[in-house]
Amino acid sequence: MMARIASLFSLSVLFVAGLLIVADRFSVAQSQTASETPAATAPLPADGTSPTAPAQEAPTQTTIPATPASPPPVATAPPDAPAPVVTAPPAAPTPVVTAPPDAPAPVVTAPPLPTPAPSPVVTAPPLPPAKPALEGSKAVAKYLFAAKQLPSLGKAMAIGYYPSGCLAGGVELPVNGPNWQVMRVSRNRNWGHPNLVRFLERFAPAAAKATGWKGILVGDMAQPRGGPTPFGHKSHQTGLDVDIWFMPMPDHTLSAEEREKISAINLVSDDWKGLNPKTWSPQQVAFIRTAAEQPEVERVLVNAAIKKELCRVAGKNGASWLKKVRPWYWHHDHIHVRLKCPADSPNCRGQPEVPEGDGCSDKELAHWFSDKVLKPTIAPGGKPPKPITMADLPPACQTVLSAPSAPAREAKN
Options 217, 336, 341, 358; binder of Zn ion; rule CB under 5 A:
336
Nearer to Zn ion, 349 or 409 (CB): 349
Nearer to Zn ion, 243 or 298 (CB): 243
Nearer to Zn ion, 243 or 333 (CB): 243
Binding-site size for Zn ion (CB under 5 A) equals 2
Site residues (CB under 5 A) for Zn ion, limited to 182-241: none
Q: Are 341 and 350 in contact (CB under 8 A)?
A: yes
Residue nearest Zn ion (C-beta atom): 336
Nearer to Zn ion, 64 or 247 (CB): 247
Dihedral angle sign, alpha carbons of residues 11, 12, 15, 17: negative
Q: Give min distance, CB of 204 to Zn ion, in A.
A: 17
* Amino acid in position 368: W
Nearer to Zn ion, 57 or 243 (CB): 243
* Amino acid in position 337: V
Q: Give min distance, CB of 338 to Zn ion, in A.
A: 8
- In this chain, which stretch among 34-42, 151-159, 263-271, 332-340 interacts with Zn ion, using CB under 5 A? 332-340
Dihedral angle sign, alpha carbons of residues 355, 361, 366, 369: positive
Helices (H) and strands (E) in the chain, counts: 17, 11
- In this chain, which stretch among 71-79, 259-267, 331-339, 361-369 interacts with Zn ion, using CB under 5 A? 331-339
Q: Give min distance, CB of 334 to Zn ion, in A.
A: 7
Buried/exposed 203-233: b ≥16 CB within 10 Å, e otherwise: bbeebbebbebebbbbbbbbbbbbbbbeeeb
Q: Give min distance, CB of 250 to Zn ion, in A.
A: 22
User: How far apart, in Å, are the Cα atoms of 301 and each of 260, 304, 318, 348?
Assistant: 23, 9, 16, 20
Helix 194-211 and helix 282-292, axial crossing angle in degrees, nearest 10:
150
Nearer to Zn ion, 229 or 347 (CB): 229
Nearest to 227 by CA among 256, 188, 273: 188
Asked whether position 338 contacts Zn ion by CB under 5 A, the answer is no
Asked whether position 298 contacts Zn ion by CB under 5 A, the answer is no
Asked whether position 243 contacts Zn ion by CB under 5 A, the answer is yes
Nearer to Zn ion, 243 or 358 (CB): 243
- In this chain, which stretch among 135-143, 265-273, 329-337, 355-363 interacts with Zn ion, using CB under 5 A? 329-337
Q: Give min distance, CB of 335 to Zn ion, in A.
A: 9
- Helical segments of 147-301, H only: 194-211, 256-261, 282-292
What are residue 191's DSSP bridge partners?
172, 222
CB-count exposure of residue 294 (10 Å: 0-12, 13-18, 19+)? middle
CA angle, corner 369, sides to 366 and 373, nearest 5? 115
- In this chain, which stretch among 4-12, 328-336, 339-347, 391-399 interacts with Zn ion, using CB under 5 A? 328-336
- In this chain, which stretch among 8-16, 179-187, 307-315, 330-338 interacts with Zn ion, using CB under 5 A? 330-338
Q: Give min distance, CB of 336 to Zn ion, in A.
A: 4
Q: Give min distance, CB of 161 to Zn ion, in A.
A: 15
Nearer to Zn ion, 96 or 288 (CB): 288
Nearer to Zn ion, 243 or 309 (CB): 243
* Amino acid in position 7: S
Q: Give min distance, CB of 57 to Zn ion, in A.
A: 58
Q: Give min distance, CB of 241 to Zn ion, in A.
A: 6
Nearest to 75 by CA among 64, 65, 89, 62: 89
User: How far apart, in Å, are the Cα atoms of 242 and each of 199, 206, 239?
Assistant: 10, 16, 8
Distance CA 322, CA 316 (A): 9
What are residue 325's DSSP bridge partners?
300
Nearer to Zn ion, 323 or 338 (CB): 338
- In this chain, which stretch among 60-68, 197-205, 242-250, 382-390 interacts with Zn ion, using CB under 5 A? 242-250
Distance CA 307, CA 178 (A): 29
Q: Give min distance, CB of 74 to Zn ion, in A.
A: 42
Q: Give min distance, CB of 331 to Zn ion, in A.
A: 8
Distance CA 390, CA 328 (A): 28
Q: Which residues bind Zn ion (CB under 5 A)?
A: 243, 336
